[in-house]
Amino acid sequence: MKKFLAIIMVVILSVTLASCGAKEKEKETTNSGTKFKAGTYEGTAKGFGGDVVATVVLSDEKIEEITVVGSKETEGIGSIAIETLPALIVKSQSVEVDAVASATVTSNAVIEAITKALKSAGVDVSTLVAVQDDNTDKKEEVIDVDVVIVGAGGAGMTAAIELKNAGLNVLIVEKMPMVGGNTIKATGGMNAAETSVQKELGIEDSIETFIEDTMVGGYNVNNRDLVTVMAEDSAEAIDWLESIGAPLPEVSFSGGATNKRIHRPEGGSSVGTYLVEKFKTNLDSLGVEVMLNTTATEILTNNGSVVGIKAESSETNYVINAKAVIMATGGFGANEELYTKYKPELKGYVTTNTPGATGDGIVMAEAIGANLVDIEQIQIHPTVEQTTSIMITESVRGGGAILVNQSGKRFTDELLTRDVVSAAVIAQEGSYSYIIFDQLLRDNLSAIEKYVDSNITVQGNTIEELAEQINVDPKTLAETLTTWNEAVASKNDAEFNRTTGMDNNTSVGPFYAIKIAPGVHHTMGGVEINTKSEVISKDGTAIPGLFAAGEVTGGVHGANRIGGNAVADIVVFGRVAAKSAIEYIK
């Protein structure tokens, strides 16, 4: 009997174990059938200005959502990587995506932060196979408007505000995921002459001097008629900006300007981000539609007249019929292949441009017969921090900063035209220099806070302490600063004959330095326009229905652009293009 019971117990135990094993095997099969461990995970990586934090939401089968925060990344460059890469990774279900051009460091930080989040969920990212994008099922859509504007930078948004206020149905097409274009990178301000602001501040200036400064700065390659329009309309443009809630109440010096002419926001904040925010607020309140992530691919014509564009997003191909088209696509300073075609010596230079500045509008306009002017004229900016591509605004030198070389000595008038100062920097040992300024300048120019936040400044309580930190002879740098301060006091720079930006000496500690060298900054050439912003064909006649404004055009700046003239260009000619389009339509 005992033996029989023992056999029964063994059988029961075997059945139980087999059942448990079957359930465990079933559990294993269920688990192996899921791709991820569902949940929310976080990863952090080091970007330009600080930490980039990624939050990744996983279901059992896919990456559902990714949010990335990096508030201190460079606006218009790193910020675009933060905007675009998470969506691309969700779409492809893989971290194997291309970095955003000109934003490699931030792109790598975004990808690294997302990878760390995935790894914390137990995901082996090397096993994630990218989902292939199939565009064969893209939708087709036709849109009818009065005016379509290609490009949501400063010129495009200015034109849109004017057109909408005139009662026209206007649409902006922008290939990037955000508005602003290269305008968002502008730091100094807007040149304008005989303005109400200058008069209130007791600054004497004239339209004629503005014209001559611009012509001389551009080596008289400029189209004088276009320069005259920019100068003559600049004061009204300053008043117009104030009327839309974007006043520029402060005035300072910029390189190549005879008088104080560069208008900037209160406190000296960067003019670009300020204006883009104000323009966007106006577009929203007016109800202007901006189609982001939508790339214009072709300008449409009928019997020689422009009648719209073709464009595409990731899901839709568009035909946008319009009575007029305004090209405001910017220049090609982020397209190394294109700018080295005209200036091979610029290969390998960093660029201050946003990733969207690739010259698309110039190529499209040329394809329908537009003439190009000054296309080989490409400007390098003298003061660019090389590891971040952050441009140090001319307002720093305009406020009294100096440039010193590795020996701790000044080597040029810091406020000569950009090409001249760039050449002077390149001629120094190592082809770099330091821009030196003090706490008083920092207190009076809020744009400097961006440089401090981005960790590109070096600080010393005394000028000797600063010299030690940048490996410059302390005695030499102190002597250089003493000589400079004496020049400011006497208003006589015996060394380099500098006559502007000498209102304040450099004597209030702590002292600051930023290591700089030139970088590709502005492309002065583009499609030819006349004083009505009409695009000119190769046969010298205006192309009916096609207008252009901003860096997509050539002729305004000649062989070298003066600091502050880009913003004047986009606001003045953005308004001119809008008015001409209205006249053409009506």
3-state secondary structure 411-428: CCCCCCCHHHHHHHHHCC
Domain range annotation of the chain: 39-122, 140-185+270-377+524-585, 380-519
Domain 140-185+270-377+524-585 has CATH 3.50.50.60: yes
Q: Look at residue 424 in the predicted model and tell me its pLDDT.
A: 97
Catalytic positions are: 418
Residues 6+ apart with CB under 8 A from 317: 138, 139, 140, 141, 310, 311
Count Cα atoms within 13 angstroms, Cβ side, for 81. Answer: 32
Residue type, 439: Q
Cα 310 to chain centroid, rounded: 25
What is the mean pLDDT of the segment spanning 550-572?
97
What pLDDT band is residue 134 in, cutting at 50, 70 and 90? low
Question: Would the pLDDT of 571 be above 50?
Answer: yes
Q: Which pLDDT tens digit goes with each residue over 273-298? A: 999 999 999 999 999 999 999 999 99
| CB-neighbour burial class of residue 120 (10 A; exposed 0-12, middle 13-18, buried 19+) | middle
CA angle (238 as vertex; 526, 521 as ends), nearest 5: 35
Q: Which helix (H) or strand (E) holds 115?
A: helix 104-120
Distance separating alpha carbons of residues 302 and 533, to the nearest angstrom: 20
Q: Which residues of 242-274 are buried (b: 16+ CB within 10 A; e: fewer)?
A: eebebbbebbbbbbbbebbbbbbbeebbbbbbb
Q: Look at residue 480 in the predicted model and tell me its pLDDT.
A: 98
Q: With contact defined as beta carbons under 8 Å apart, do 114 and 75 qualify?
A: no
CATH code for the structural domain at 380-519: 3.90.700.10
Q: Give me the percent of the chain exceeding a pLDDT of 70.
A: 93
Distance separating alpha carbons of residues 250 and 190, to the nearest angstrom: 10
What pLDDT band is residue 388 in, cutting at 50, 70 and 90? confident
Total residues belonging to the chain = 586
Positive or negative CA dihedral for 550, 553, 556, 560? positive
Question: Would the pLDDT of 1 be above 90?
Answer: no
Q: Which pLDDT tens digit goes with each residue over 446-472? A: 989 989 988 899 999 999 999 999 999
65 vs 76 pLDDT, higher one? 65
Q: Which residues of 357-369 are buried (b: 16+ CB within 10 A; e: fewer)?
A: bbbbbbebbbebb
Beta strand residue intervals within 417-528, DSSP E: 433-438, 458-460, 511-523, 526-528
Fold of 39-122: Sufe protein. Chain: A (3.90.1010)
Distance separating alpha carbons of residues 328 and 546, to the nearest angstrom: 11
